[in-house]
Amino acid sequence: MGVDNMKVFKEIMSWIIPIAVGLLLAALLGKFVIARVRVDGPSMQPNLDNNEKVWILKQSKIKHLSVVVFDAHGVDPSAKAKTKYVKRVIGLPGDTVSFNNGQLYVNKKKVNQNFISASERTSGTTDGSGHNSWNLQTLSKRFKWGNGSKVVPKGEYFVLGDHRSVSNDGRYWGFVPKSKIDGVVKVPVWSSTATKRHNVNSLSY
């Protein structure tokens, strides 16, 4: 290879190598660290709106009240392949969960639900038979999912939408395996309002 050709080759490689490295890093970030997703539907209102774009952190620890994105296919029997749901984690593995007249309890302790209004906590939250109280066992019997367990099974989570009256969530089809969860939702600082961002990004216990 001549001197001129060598210079051309080096110049070309000086462009190609950074681009290739950048693409590889972007692919790794998308697969293992962070991804951008679009909210579809009203089930997380008032804190997340339909068509709102948010980020998911794939390595974040899942806690009580974390908002997560998960693959709903195989979890909700009505969900088609590649369908993603966004919901709030209420019960961790081993937890008991119950609901009574607008109040939500985890391990017999009342959950602070200031992230939704009093009417949102009570509207449309019956067990499907008109009773305004339920627990995991009564839900599983009513909607014929699970094995009647009183607690969230190991490696699984119980989730609800914030807009309880329209949310298709764990009340109707059961638990979400950890293997199905893509990551924890974070709303960027330039999006939404400070209160809504706090209700998605910062609530946990």
Q: Which of 66, 87, 98, 167 is catalytic?
A: 87
87 belongs to the catalytic site: yes
| R_g of the chain, CA atoms, integer Å | 22
141 belongs to the catalytic site: no
Q: What is the rounded CA–CA span in Å between residue 160 and residue 179?
A: 18
Question: Which H or E run contains 98?
Answer: strand 97-100
Question: Which H or E run contains 160?
Answer: strand 156-160
Tell me the CB-side half-sphere exposure of residue 100, using CA atoms within 13 A.
7
Q: Which of 7, 14, 31, 43 is catalytic?
A: 43
Residues annotated catalytic, as ranges: 43, 87
